[in-house]
């Protein structure tokens, strides 16, 4: 039964996929799917809870909402915009495709992908569509959210702006002084405050595009992401890939925000067996040998076949970062201004990762052993790597 169901599922999926690409109309009713190749329209119709909705209609609606938001933002922060952030393309409120908002924003002459003036930020699919517009002076930002209900109600494009955009527009002053002490405001912007402010602030201060990509994926730009950028730079320098046949495989040990940066920068995704995530609780951390207290993971260079994998066990000196910053590590490290200050500090060291990243030890795996063998269930990975005494 399972097999049959699965086969049907795959077949349906492939059909839907082709239909979406070729403009075939698809109607789904109840459990059974019926396919009718009736139209050359590029629309794909899916009948479901939200009624019959079309990609074209979504694209048009998303574009209109972006236009309304931009017009409103212009009256608050002024144009030309210096920077716009949005979760368009990732948000699917009530199943609505929000990508059309990106098309519309790219029509504004001051915005483009190449100049990093339009950044799309990863969010969960069920989040409302939002925009963050930074005005001409690069200091004031306005956050606007689209009401989820507007996607269904604006079928004829007649909703007024206040029916499309939720509540009052929230604004923020993007200066270090203004952001100081704003740690208590993490909940603003529907919870997206740190996400928006950190990426915008660092983008306006010249963060490199690869770091921005990592932050867009991670959904905020915290020192943890920047530490991942520093580790990737260190790795390319001290354990470079020598041919297209080699790849990195990482034992993330312990994991933190760095791992999202590493996925973007090195394409070491868990799904492609490039990243194995092993959490360390306080007890496990307590087992680490004193010299391994800075542990930031094991980074292997793996050949496709033949010679065994070699790697570096790396550490990250957070203490050094806090020392350079002049604040004690324990003291409210997660206040917004401290996170931003730390990011700005790291920005000075992007080409000097050795200030923080260091090699604890080199490692090479015995013939016939693969990195994942070290992290099989029941394996004491810390002892296997000689980072702690066996349990």
Residues in contact with Zn ion by the rule CB under 5 A: 222, 224, 257
Residue 7 CB, nearest distance to Zn ion (Å)?
41
List all residues 6 or more positions away from 12 whose beta carbon is below 8 Å from its beta carbon: 33
Alpha carbon 132 to chain centroid distance? 17
Residue 50 CB, nearest distance to Zn ion (Å)?
33
Angle made by CA atoms 25, 30, 33, in degrees to the nearest 5: 40
What torsion, rounded to 10 degrees, do the Cα atoms 55, 56, 62, 63 define?
150
Q: How far apart (Å, rounded) are the C-alpha atoms in residues 244 and 252?
A: 23
Residue 257 CB, nearest distance to Zn ion (Å)?
3
Distances from the Cα of 367 to the Cαs of 59, 307, 371, 384, in angstroms? 54, 7, 11, 16
**Residue number with CB closer to Zn ion (222 or 298):** 222
**Residue number with CB closer to Zn ion (224 or 274):** 224
Q: How big is the chain, counted in residues?
A: 391
**Residue number with CB closer to Zn ion (336 or 381):** 336
- C-beta separation of 85 from 116 below 8 A: no
**Residue number with CB closer to Zn ion (222 or 265):** 222
Residue 165 CB, nearest distance to Zn ion (Å)?
28
Q: Whose CB is nearest to Zn ion? A: 257
**Residue number with CB closer to Zn ion (225 or 266):** 225
**Residue number with CB closer to Zn ion (257 or 312):** 257
Question: Tokens for 49?
Answer: 């809870």
Residue 193 CB, nearest distance to Zn ion (Å)?
14
Report which of 374, 349, 122, 388 is spatially closest to residue 250, judged by C-alpha positions: 374
Residue 218 CB, nearest distance to Zn ion (Å)?
6
């Amino acid at each position: 039964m399972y097999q049959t169901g699965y086969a049907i599922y795959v077949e349906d999926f492939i059909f839907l996929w082709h239909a979406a690409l070729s403009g075939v109309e698809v109607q789904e009713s109840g459990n059974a799917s019926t396919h009718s190749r009736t139209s050359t329209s590029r629309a794909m119709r899916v009948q479901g809870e939200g009624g019959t909705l079309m990609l074209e209609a979504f694209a048009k609606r998303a574009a209109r909402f972006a236009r309304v938001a931009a017009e409103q933002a212009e009256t608050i922060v002024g144009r030309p915009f210096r920077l716009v952030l949005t979760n368009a393309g990732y948000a699917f409120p009530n199943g609505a495709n929000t990508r059309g908002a990106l098309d519309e924003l790219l029509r504004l002459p001051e915005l483009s992908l190449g100049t990093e003036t339009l950044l799309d930020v990863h969010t969960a699919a069920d989040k409302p569509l939002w925009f963050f517009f930074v005005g001409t002076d690069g200091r004031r930002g306005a956050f606007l959210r689209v009401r989820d209900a507007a996607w269904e109600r604006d079928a004829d494009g007649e909703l007024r702006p206040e029916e499309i955009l939720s509540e009052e527009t929230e604004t923020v002053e993007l200066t270090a002084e203004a952001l100081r002490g704003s740690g208590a405001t993490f909940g603003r912007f529907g919870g997206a405050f740190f996400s928006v402010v950190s990426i915008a602030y660092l983008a306006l201060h010249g963060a490199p595009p690869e770091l921005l990509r990592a932050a867009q994926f991670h959904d905020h730009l915290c020192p943890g992401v920047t530490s991942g950028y520093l580790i990737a730079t260190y790795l390319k320098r001290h354990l470079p890939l020598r041919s297209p046949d080699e790849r990195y495989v990482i034992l993330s040990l312990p994991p933190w925000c760095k791992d999202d940066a590493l996925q973007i920068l090195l394409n070491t995704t868990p799904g492609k067996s490039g990243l194995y995530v092993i959490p360390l609780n306080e007890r496990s951390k307590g087992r680490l040998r004193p010299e391994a207290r800075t542990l930031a993971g094991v980074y292997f260079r793996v050949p496709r076949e033949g010679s065994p994998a070699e790697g570096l066990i790396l550490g990250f000196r957070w203490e050094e970062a806090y020392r350079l910053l002049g604040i004690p590590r324990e003291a409210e490290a997660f206040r917004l201004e401290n996170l931003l200050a730390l990011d700005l500090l790291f920005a000075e060291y992007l080409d000097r990762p050795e200030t923080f990243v260091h090699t604890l030890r080199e490692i090479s795996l015995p013939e016939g052993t693969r990195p994942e063998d070290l992290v099989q269930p029941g394996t004491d990975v810390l002892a296997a790597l000689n980072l702690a005494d066996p349990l």
